[in-house]
Chains A and B, each alone.
Chain A
Amino acid sequence: MAKLKPPVNGEDHIEGSFQAPVIFVEYGDFQCPYCGAAYPVIKQIQKKFKDQLGFVFRHFPLAESHPYAQIAAVASEAAALQGKFWPMHDLIYENQSRLSPKTLLTMAESLKLDLKKFQKDIQDASLIEKVETSFESGIDSGVNGTPSFYINGVKYEGSYDLPSLSHAIEKAIAGHKEISH
């Protein structure tokens, strides 16, 4: 079974706590329609499991299929430099059908980012490299398409509707309790 490599660490963006009993990782592409479809489901999952769940997003832009996936990933990292990774992540998925370099800028504006800095940062080689490193870790982890999910480090092969995901996460929480008792 494919395992997450490297494990979740300080380089990752997380919503929730690194100490949560379940760490749920997505390798996603901002322009991928399947990731777009998974986005509201993950929101529901987060609402349901609250502090039992830490959600990590890693970039896996399929740049050949999706011309704006790479720039969107870099834009989210540029937003992260101003403490706004998750608001940017959410805005992009909520406006996925209109995604373009121009709308990314509008999004940055609506998040009240320092636009000068943002525009400079999206050209920054180190941010581009960060996205590439994430992509490579996805390959090493056995990502075979987007979205790919990992529950506590193990690749989740089921479908990503609410009942299936909830069930898998409940199982992981139960497993975690058994170990810690």
Chain B
Amino acid sequence: MLGINITAPDFELHATPDQKFSLSELRGKNVIIAFYPADWSPVCGDQMSLYNEMHHYFSKYNAELLGISVDGKWCHSAFREARKLHFTLLADFEPKGAVAKKYGVYNEKEGRSERALFVLDDEGTIRWSYLSPVGINPGADGILDALKMITQKDNHGKVKTPG
């Protein structure tokens, strides 16, 4: 799993069946990347539904949420619609799990990503990461703590990233 204080590797994935999205488009914003094992499985559903409620809180910290799984773009669009999700879901579908592999959170045996969270600052540097046991919904307290830390440091004008 990638550690902190390094630049998050860029990627480009399908956000909708006819639209691609790359991480670098979000430069200037804090970014939460939530890798999750699969659409539709009950725990994931809860995790994504929870994050869906938090739109308001994330935007308070100038943060955008991206959900990534190996599910295909059509699957994602059905899932988004069913759960009324307001954030972007990206399909790490072909080559399968390539982005999860870049971030060191791919589970080869199961053929899916782990349940992992990364919080990036507005320059694209990874500032916090967390690998959750796969069956456990990690909640959002860690994400908010990380966002608070990032924005506090910014406000105090301190150096954001060593090196």
Contacts and interface: CB of A to CB of B under 8 A. Distances in A.
A26 to B, nearest CB: 16
B57 A139 contact: yes
B144 A144 contact: no
Given A2-B139, A139-B144, A144 B46 contact: yes
A65 interface: yes
Nearest to B140: A139
Q: Which of the four size classes fits the interface of chain B? A: 10 to 19
Nearest to B86: A64
Nearest to A157: B136
Interface string B38-58: 000000001101101110010
Interface in A109-146: 135-136, 139-145
Interface in B134-153: 136-141, 144
Given A139-B144, A144-B46, A63 B53 contact: yes
A145 B141 contact: no
Most buried by A among B86, B138, B141: B141
Nearest to B139: A144
Tell me what chain A mostly uses at the interface: helix, strand, loop, or mixed: loop
B57 to A, nearest CB: 7
A139 to B, nearest CB: 5
B53 A64 contact: yes
Nearest to B132: A144
B139 A143 contact: yes
Given A62-B53, A64-B49, A136-B57, A141 B137 contact: no
Given A139-B141, A142-B139, A144-B50, A64 B57 contact: no
Contacts of A140: 141, 144
Contacts of B144: 139-140
Q: Which of the four size classes fits the interface of chain A? A: 10 to 19
Interface in A49-65: 62-65
B49 A62 contact: yes
A2 B137 CA distance: 12
A57 B98 CA distance: 44
A144 B47 contact: yes
Contact of A2 (B46, B52, B141): B141
A7 to B, nearest CB: 15
Contacts of B136: 144
B84 interface: yes
Interface of B: 46-47, 49-50, 52-54, 57, 83-84, 86, 136-141, 144
24 contacts: A2-B139, A62-B53, A63-B53, A64-B49, A64-B52, A64-B84, A64-B86, A65-B49, A65-B53, A65-B84, A136-B57, A139-B57, A139-B139, A139-B140, A139-B141, A139-B144, A140-B144, A141-B141, A142-B139, A143-B139, A144-B46, A144-B136, A144-B137, A144-B138
Interface of A: 2, 62-65, 135-136, 139-145
